[in-house]
Amino acid sequence: MSAKEKYTPEKKAEELLQVIFKYVVQIANERNVDKLLISLADMGRDLVSADRCTVWLIDKKNSTLWTKVAHGVDRIVIPLTAGIAGYVARTGESIFINDAYADSRFDQQVDKETGYHTRNLLALPIDDSNGDIMGVYQAINKMTGDGEFTRIDEEHLLLAASYTSKQLEAFALQEEIKQTQREIIMTLAETGEMRSKETGNHVKRVARYSEIIGRQYGLSDHDIDILRNASPMHDIGKIAIPDSILLKKGILTDKEREEMKKHTTLGYEMLKHSERELIKAAAVVAYQHHEKWDGSGYPEGIKGDSIHIFGRITAMADVFDALVCRRVYKDAWPISKVLDFFREEQGKHFDPDLIDVFFKVKDELYNVSVSLTDPVS
Ligand code: C2E
Ligand code: SIN
Ligand code: SIN
Ligand code: FE
Ligand code: FE
């Protein structure tokens, strides 16, 4: 049978619009970069009626191109020197080939290895907003009309490429903002901890405990991520507490204790103005981590579900750490005593459901406290 017989008619204008609408909605809601790449490639494939389409991204640090072609399949990585995609990435030239085997730029090796037959291909650079090449859009084997790519296909793929670069840049910016926030938060939290000298790893441990408890409780991946990054900020208000109180070797007087309690509202005041989800969560955690389930905590004395789940989880993580580790004012408790304490405080200091969760993961929590131990000074 001649190859031509299986080609279908070219897409009409309204069909192209449908393709665009379908993918724009899908892509705008995509938060995972691998899935984003697959959707962008699928959009290009449907726009030009190609059999296959790939969006390659340049990894400058490693001089490679990488892509993700299907769900559940690992990323594919090739050297920046390889094949048509590499050529386009290095030179920024578009490649338009309608007879692949007659063109010296096409390396038949890939086909030999995969058993695929490349008849024709289109490949274009994806430029970022500075005009630098960030990747390559590659379509293989035209499936409609007379089976050859046209200049109109090239224009459509160019449109897809410019849309792709905007989506990827917006995505990268979001990632960068998130990463920056995480770094700022960790730095702030560690700075706060440095003043209390002995507990350099306290913030890291509290982050891990919160994550473990949150996961077992059934929080979404997104909320676990927010909680893990926000919980280390719970004591940030301590940076405004005088050393004479913070570092006191013995028991606090009532007056000192009242002063110390202000670290919750002080932390909240520092963080409450942000519009960012992560900082907002950190503000809630700073404010509420000393509230108790039965309403006997501070600063508000609120009870039960009125305490945000992040506040309830961080409270457990914080007290667990305060008890299993040494503090300037107290020795470490043996783990059996710590477990008795948590059992005893079910429904008093702590959310009863969270105590059930706590006992399911107690070994994991204890292992974190041992592996992230503080250096003896
Ligand atoms: P922290 O050391 O991180 O302790 C956090 C929470 O763990 C405490 O909140 C308390 O709920 C619990 N916790 C810690 N040690 C013990 C303990 O020996 N027994 C019991 N039952 N619970 C304990 P709290 O009490 O609101 O204290 C907040 C912060 O105030 C503490 O954070 C610590 O920085 C400071 N602090 C509290 N008591 C003293 C003290 O006697 N001396 C000094 N120097 N600081 C204290
Ligand atoms: C090439 O880029 O030379 C081959 C096209 C492909 O299958 O990636
Ligand atoms: C903490 O921030 O909870 C630790 C306080 C301390 O260093 O004693
Ligand atoms: Fe605190
Ligand atoms: Fe703490």
Q: Are residues 109 and 13 in the same domain?
A: yes
Q: Mean pLDDT in runs of 10 for the chain (377 residues)? A: 63 80 80 87 91 92 89 83 90 92 84 88 91 92 90 88 85 78 73 60 90 98 94 86 87 95 92 84 96 98 98 97 89 96 98 98 96 70
Instruction: Say how far apart CA 342 and CA 355 lie, in whole Å.
Output: 7
Based on the fold, state whether residues 123 and 223 are members of the same structural domain. Answer: no
Per-residue pLDDT at 338: 98
Tell whether 132 is covered by a domain.
yes
The C-alpha atoms of residue 201 and residue 373 are separated, in whole angstroms, by: 7
Task: Please state the domain count of the chain.
Answer: 2
In a domain, 3, yes or no: no
Q: Is there a single domain that holds both residue 121 and residue 167?
A: yes
Do 252 and 313 sit in the same domain of this protein?
yes
Residue 353 is predicted with a pLDDT of 98
Please choose, from the candidates 12, 93, 87, 100, the residue with its C-alpha nearest in 3D space to the C-alpha of residue 51. Answer: 100
69 in contact with ligand 2, CB cutoff 6 A? no
Q: Is the peptide bond prior to 9 cis by the omega test (within 30 degrees of 0)? A: no
Same domain, 207 and 152: no
Evaluate whether 339 touches 194 at the Cβ level (below 8 Å): no
Q: Whose CA is nearest to atom 7 of ligand 3?
A: 196
- Whether 209 and 371 have beta carbons less than 8 Å apart is answered as no
Please tell me whether residues 48 and 110 are part of one structural domain. yes
Ligand 1 — pocket residues by CB below 6 A? 248, 251-252, 260, 290, 318-319, 322-323, 327-330
Question: What's the pLDDT score for residue 377?
Answer: 46
- The answer, as to whether pTM is greater than 0.75, is no
Ligand 2 mutation target, pool 84, 103, 113, most atoms within 8 A of CB: 84
Among 83, 66, 84, 65, smallest CA distance to 75 is for 66
Kindly give, in sequence order, each residue whose CB lies less than 8 Å from that of residue 259, ignoring residues fewer than 6 positions away.
241, 242, 245
Same domain, 292 and 355: yes
Q: Is residue 217 part of a domain?
A: yes
Name the one residue in this structure whose structure tokens are 């108790």: 292
Same domain, yes or no: 204 and 314: yes
Whether the CB of 65 sits within 6 Å of ligand 2: no
Burial of 20 (0-12, 13-18, 19+ CB in 10 A): middle
Q: Measure 348 CA to ligand 2 centroid, in angstroms.
A: 65
Q: Which domain holds residue 35?
A: 9-173
Shared domain check, 212 and 248? yes
Calculate the dihedral angle through the C-alpha atoms of 362, 368, 369, 375, rounding to the nearest 10 degrees: 170
Residue that has been written with the tokens 């094949």 in this structure: 83
The CATH number that applies at residue 79 is: 3.30.450.40
The whole-number pLDDT of residue 92 equals 94
Tell me which of 140, 141, 149 to substitute to probe ligand 2's pocket, judged by most ligand atoms within 8 Å of the beta carbon. Answer: 140
In the chain the first and final C-alpha atoms are separated, in Å, by 81
Report if residue 311 sits inside a domain. yes
- pLDDT of 202 reads 82
Separation of CA 375 and ligand 3 centre (Å): 15
Ligand 3 pocket check for 234: Cβ under 6 Å = no
Examine residue 164 and state whether it is found in any structural domain, yes or no.
yes
Q: Which residues are catalytic?
A: 238
Q: Are residues 134 and 259 in the same domain?
A: no
Q: Is the CB of 201 under 6 A from ligand 3?
A: no
CB 164 within 8 A of CB 137: yes
List strand residue ranges (DSSP E) for the chain, in order: 50-59, 64-67, 76-79, 95-97, 121-127, 133-142
State the ligand closest to the CA atom of 263.
4
Instruction: For residues 108 and 145, state if they share a domain.
Output: yes
The two three-digit tokens of residue 119, written as one number: 């008849």
Cα dihedral 215/307/368/181 (nearest 10): 80
Ligand 4 centre and the CA of 175: distance in Å? Answer: 30
| Cα 273 to averaged position of ligand 5 atoms, centre (Å) | 22
Mutate to test the pocket of ligand 3, among 190, 191, 193, 239 (most ligand atoms within 8 A of CB): 193
Flag whether 1 is in a domain: no
Q: Is 123 helix (H, G, I), strand (E, B) or coil?
A: strand
